[in-house]
A and B are shown apart, each in its own frame.
Chain A
Amino acid sequence: EDKVVQSPLSLVVHEGDTVTLNCSYEVTNFRSLLWYKQEKKAPTFLFMLTSSGIEKKSGRLSSILDKKELSSILNITATQTGDSAIYLCAVEGTGGFKTIFGAGTRLFVKA
């Protein structure tokens, strides 16, 4: 059965902390893994990962995929209150062009 599991489900940190969010998956014919940030409405796209071991960075956010371990991490350094959101991991499989979402990690950054 295809599935995506994220951990932790929720996290509370202080401004300036570094956080690591985890995503593990089982999917038929993996194509890509995507990270989204959801604040109010629709999740906004952060990263798409297709190749193992290649880190993608955007400002204080970075992510890397490990196809051997079937997992990915999303790092946020020097967290700010504006980083408070739900971070969603989704995996695309080629079989049926399906995208499976994890339950998300709710991050709260205290000032």
Chain B
Amino acid sequence: GAVVSQHPSRVICKSGTSVKIECRSLDFQATTMFWYRQFPKQSLMLMATSNEGSKATYEQGVEKDKFLINHASLTLSTLTVTSAHPEDSSFYICSARALTPDRDTQYFGPGTRLTVL
């Protein structure tokens, strides 16, 4: 099946630094990638939808200047958490949409655990 990778899988950083997370679709072209943040225990929150070659669409309440998203190619999207603070500590998950004539499927990456000290 289709594979989506994320790098790094875990990152620990100091408050005030910026962290970049990469999301790659390894064996298919993804015109659309999604970035989620998982809150403790249960819910996933969609942060933004990223379309290749255009600006990301951010969900209400998500600061676009803080969470910079770039979708430079059909296989790579990046999320940069700028000036990270402890409250940004979370599990960030990307997914990539594979769209073929007979199928529309979303594949999730393994996630990135961010800890801001």
Contacts and interface: CB of A to CB of B under 8 A. Distances in A.
Interface of A: 2, 9-10, 34, 36, 38, 41-45, 48, 86, 88, 96-104, 106
A106 B105 contact: yes
Interface in B34-79: 36, 38, 41-46, 59
Contacts of B44: 36, 42-43, 45
A43 B93 CA distance: 12
A33 to B, nearest CB: 12
A96 B106 contact: no
B28 interface: no
Interface of B: 1-2, 9-10, 36, 38, 41-46, 59, 91, 93, 95, 103, 105-108, 110-111, 113
19 contacts: A9-B105, A36-B44, A41-B59, A42-B44, A45-B43, A86-B106, A88-B108, A96-B9, A96-B113, A97-B113, A98-B111, A98-B113, A99-B38, A99-B93, A100-B108, A100-B111, A101-B95, A103-B1, A104-B105
Contacts of A98: 9, 91, 110-111, 113
B91 A42 contact: no
B108 A101 contact: yes
A101 B46 contact: no
Contacts, number: 52
A34 B113 CA distance: 18
B109 to A, nearest CB: 8
Contacts of B113: 96-98
A42 B111 contact: no
Nearest to B40: A97
A45 B36 contact: no
A46 B46 CA distance: 17
A27 B1 CA distance: 18
A35 to B, nearest CB: 11
In order of increasing CB-CB distance, the 4 nearest A-B pairs are A101-B108, A42-B46, A45-B42, A41-B46
Nearest to A32: B41
Contacts of B105: 9, 103-104, 106
Contacts of A96: 9-10, 113
